[in-house]
Structure 1
Amino acid sequence: MNVMFQQMPVGSDNDSMDDESEATMTGGNPSEIDPFHFVYSNIPDNTHILKLAANCEHCKARKFESETDGFCCRNGQIELKQPEPVPELMRLWSSMDADSR
């Protein structure tokens, strides 16, 4: 499809050109495909929030709704060492001095 655009002189008053450009901008021409239709046509009406699941009774890890028992720590067979907090990081986290701000 070849389309020729006629360049109008600055300050010209051409109503037919304004009607065509307005129809194109508002989607008035049904033969043109709206590039945003695909994006905005798939917006969901609601969201899915996972149900709360009980924490692991051995390691207290938070679990997903369908996660099996023992997935995180094999029912207490594996014990993760809790690292000691690094003093410098704790100071940056809890302090209100210029460095931590």
Structure 2
Amino acid sequence: MKLALIVTLGLLATPVLAQTTDDDTRANALITPMLQELAPGYHGQVLAACVVAHATSDEKTTMANAAGPSTEIGAIITAVINRPETVGCVEATLKQ
């Protein structure tokens, strides 16, 4: 039951990533573990998905090409998280 709930909740977040690119996928892979330190589990996944969904193309490319976590990546994440549309994405996804 718990696994089914996690899978269902994960699928609810997928519209955010409906049109993913390689940069989206690589950026998400980089930032998810970083954000899960702040918001463990599903909440970190939602936060990462919303950050990638609302990052600019240049921000996504920078995150996708990063060798690993860095101050620069942290600054990009912070900038994107502070955008109203990112906050709205997180709130809407978590209410589902």
Q: Same fold (TM over 0.5)?
A: no
Which category of TM-score, normalised to the shorter sequence, fits these structures? under 0.3
User: Which protein has the larger Cα radius of gyration, Structure 1 or Structure 2?
Assistant: 1
More helix by share: 2
| Structure of higher RCO (CA pairs closer than 8 Å, 6+ residues apart) | 2
